[in-house]
Amino acid sequence: MTTARLPLVVGNWKMNGSFAHNTALLQALATIDVVDVGVVIAPPAIYLAALKQQLIGATMQLAGQNVAAESQQGAYTGEISARMLAEVGANYVIIGHSERRQYYGETDAIVAKKFLRSQEQGLKPIICVGETLTEREAGQVELVVSRQLLAVIEQCGVQALAQAVVAYEPVWAIGTGKTATPDDAQAVHHLLRQLVANYDKNIAENLSILYGGSVKADNAASLFAMPDIDGALVGGASLIASDFLAICHAAKASLVVG
């Protein structure tokens, strides 16, 4: 990766955690050296306020895992607005994760609305794009990821990406133990950066594009060595302190060789 873009490692806890586990995990992560590396954790929303208190004085930041597409308050039972996430201390929010698209029917249009709502409240969206195994085998990778990112650009404008992060997460590699090869991942990251460059080269050059898809301690370094991979959106490994620390250290080491 280029040193113009500092590495970013985001731990997506998904529907995992408890007050006891969260405290123990944060204590184990207290030794993390995040100089020149951004570290973000995305717990279930119910834990955000408590974790914010535990992180006082720390450089780690928080992210929501999801956000409402609707207005900032109203009769939307079960929803959590961007304003609420910001108020309890979130800095980022994950938008359009493949599990939200697959299990909860989120369309590109809904994802774009969520992106817009998040930025209205000063949150930095982490917009996820990625193809299924069927789409990859059909040679539709470029078509799918371009469509997903263009939905945000067309709704919010390319300038909005100056305060956002993109995460490429091949759906077939999430929670399966399979990982795109570094060269495969790099090819899609480069494609995404070129897509943005067609609108604004400066924004494209400074845009952080993360890889998500079974990132582990033993494959992180080879992924981070690629010029267009700027960090990781980490799932299961973010729940194990030693693994998450190793991924963060690999991100830091990429600055030396990048």
The full DSSP string for 35-64 is: TT-EEEEE--GGGHHHHHHHTTT-S-EEEE
Percent of the chain with pLDDT over 70: 97
Point out the least confidently predicted range of 13-27, 125-139, 166-180: 166-180
The CATH number of residue 23's host domain is 3.20.20.70
109 lies in some domain: yes
Question: What's the whole-number mean pLDDT along residues 171-198?
Answer: 90
**Domain count along the chain:** 1
User: Residue 173: pLDDT band by 50, 70, 90 thresholds?
Assistant: confident
1 lies in some domain: no
Question: What's the whole-number mean pLDDT along residues 24-53?
Answer: 90
3 lies in some domain: no
pLDDT score for 196: 98
Check: pTM over 0.85? Answer yes or no: yes
Pick the closest to residue 121 from 177, 73, 52 (CA basis).
73
253 lies in some domain: yes
Per the CB < 8 A criterion, the answer to whether 228 and 206 are in contact is no
pLDDT beyond 80 at 37 = yes
How far from the centroid of its chain's Cα atoms is residue 119's Cα? 15
Average pLDDT, the chain: 93
2 lies in some domain: no
Percent of the chain with pLDDT over 90: 82
pLDDT score for 33: 67
Active site residues: 97, 169
Higher-confidence position of 3 and 118: 118
228 lies in some domain: yes
Rounded distance between C-alpha atoms, residue 69 and residue 47, angstroms: 21
pLDDT score for 214: 85
192 lies in some domain: yes
User: Residue 189: pLDDT band by 50, 70, 90 thresholds?
Assistant: very high
User: Residue 256: pLDDT band by 50, 70, 90 thresholds?
Assistant: low
Q: 46: domain range?
A: 8-28+37-257
pLDDT beyond 60 at 3 = no
The model's pLDDT over 84-109, given as tens digits with 9 standing for 90+, comes to 999 999 999 999 999 999 999 999 99
Stated as kind and residue range, the H or E segment containing 102 is: helix 98-104
81 lies in some domain: yes
